[in-house]
Structure 1
């Protein structure tokens, strides 16, 4: 059966011609056969690596697919296989009982993200606090507690969901009326950023180069293209999620090279504007 004709479950990317239960049962059979094939004593980490390698080979065998499809499968099931979430694959109804996602002062992670987005769009904090009915000390606690939860969450569920909400440009009914110094008047640039991967990689490379030359990269993009930090980060998460869900190694390599090329071009530009690199005046 060729990869072109294999149908995959949209949730877990297993081939629809077999059950996921039969797949994992066969996997465990092969793991046990491997471990019993010699007298070596394997550590838990070594057994985990053996299981991962056998899972990949079994998936490729049962679906007659290429290595990119294997990566898509592993990414879609990263939490099941490794206990680590991947952007684009966290489902809220799967983590409802997670204590790290319990509301803080009655505000959910989505609410917190919506407030963060408004702040990074340039909406005054006082306006946001008034709309949400909170005081500045509560916001300080939100920042502290959500930050602590992200730091202690070894599954990266909180951080990944925060990123997904950013990609969705999450909002809150109480905040929708608040204006932002965002892309008003520059909607074409924002549209291009979200639809043209080359344009996104160019600005991402330029931003990195700007920071390396002591400039505020986010402010540079706002000044040059009218795209604020919140909108830029939202689009960045969209591209990351799309890459996870539609992984293609050739595309990844292509855009990585393009990103680096643009970063170097902007680095040269910023260096020239600052009078050249210090190293340019040194002769060997």
Structure 2
């Protein structure tokens, strides 16, 4: 039989003519007696490898329906999944007969028994066909992995659909531009009109907005009426998309300068950046507003408690809505967080005595 040194050669990047002799050695290998646990670079002397690293890969993985050290080192680098892979563990039949949801719930209930009733814990894992605790923990990890793969598949589908819709909308916007539907009205383009409306919604005085835009109220009223008419007649929603993007990012064009940025003047944006990174904070503020509305409290005043303006909140909402559109986990988490904070604010009368 061939020696380890003969069998393990890195021929990556070489032409076949350069390793014909090596191919002959591989062909003579007795794969029926192949044992991945004794193969070079299987690294079974230690169980955990660094997750961020790629480990030695043999360029000729045999086509065998059994564990292989290539997968062991680069698919299961650490943890209980690696342990299960090494020991060729299988999910007990008692668990395979259950639905994924029921199996996950039952196994996690059993897991919670360990700290409170070790004897019952051991009885339960045996009842469900597990040989020992490691086998049981591997089973939970396998269910979790399957769930993650399902979420990833759903997210990928959502991303594909979103990419198609985005491409379609881009085409509609190009057509609108070519057809003159986005041409300025009395010198005021769509982005400027949208940004101006965002500033007004955020509390900026109309007279100040008109000064920035460089127009007077009669002209502004005509422009607003015409842009509104164009949007209402646009069945592709291209104009509405351009408007929405500019409204959510209103510090553009004539409103880009710091002296014209109301948030900079008032300081209302101070401290609101966290909400773009903290999904739970976003849901908390949303629930605070919802519960406050049922109790007659002003939504804008609630936003002020978090250092936010109405315009800020519109931008934040668009930010998280876009993320949730391609993240099923986030959408599910939102339901859990809403239940938590709706109960909290309801009991505290929409924030009374709540520590922000």
TM-score band (shorter)?
0.5 to 0.7
After TM superposition, the structure 1 stretch with the greater mean CA deviation from structure 2, 207-216 or 188-197, is: 207-216
CA distance in 2 between counterparts of 1:205 and 1:238 reads 17
* Residue in 1 that maps onto 2:250: 169
Matched, 1:74 2:161: yes
Whether the 8 Å contact between 1:113 and 1:170 is mirrored in structure 2 is: no
Matched, 1:178 2:260: yes
Structure 2 alignment gaps of length 5 or more = 1-151
Mapping of residues 1-284 of structure 1, within 5 Å: 66-78=153-165, 85=169, 95-173=176-254, 176=257, 177-180=259-262, 184-185=266-267, 187-222=269-304, 224-244=305-325, 247-270=326-349
Structure 1 alignment gaps of length 5 or more = 1-64, 274-284
**What displacement does 1:129 show?**
0.9
CA distance in 1 between counterparts of 2:225 and 2:339 reads 35
**What displacement does 1:200 show?**
1.2
Question: What is the CA deviation profile of residues 50-104 of structure 1, one whole-angstrom value per residue up to 9, with x for unaligned ones?
Answer: xxxxxxxxxxxxxxx8232122111221266xx6x4xxx7896564225432322
Q: Relative to 1, partners in 2 of residues 1:166 and 1:261: Cα closer, same or farther, differing over 3 Å? A: farther
Whether the 8 Å contact between 2:198 and 2:311 is mirrored in structure 1 is: yes
After TM superposition, the structure 1 stretch with the greater mean CA deviation from structure 2, 174-183 or 99-108, is: 174-183
- For normalisation by structure 2, the TM-score amounts to 0.49
- For normalisation by structure 1, the TM-score amounts to 0.60
Q: Relative to 1, partners in 2 of residues 1:66 and 1:229: Cα closer, same or farther, differing over 3 Å? A: same
* Residue in 2 that maps onto 1:56: none
CA distance in 2 between counterparts of 1:266 and 1:90 reads 44
Whether the 8 Å contact between 2:212 and 2:254 is mirrored in structure 1 is: no
Aligned length in residues = 200
CA distance in 2 between counterparts of 1:253 and 1:115 reads 36
CA distance in 2 between counterparts of 1:173 and 1:264 reads 44
CA distance in 2 between counterparts of 1:125 and 1:192 reads 30
Whether the 8 Å contact between 1:167 and 1:238 is mirrored in structure 2 is: no
CA distance in 2 between counterparts of 1:257 and 1:150 reads 37
CA distance in 2 between counterparts of 1:70 and 1:91 reads 23
Q: Relative to 1, partners in 2 of residues 1:138 and 1:214: Cα closer, same or farther, differing over 3 Å? A: farther
Larger Rg: 2
The higher relative CO (CA closer than 8 Å, separation ≥ 6) is in 1
Q: Relative to 1, partners in 2 of residues 1:74 and 1:114: Cα closer, same or farther, differing over 3 Å? A: same
RMSD: 3.0
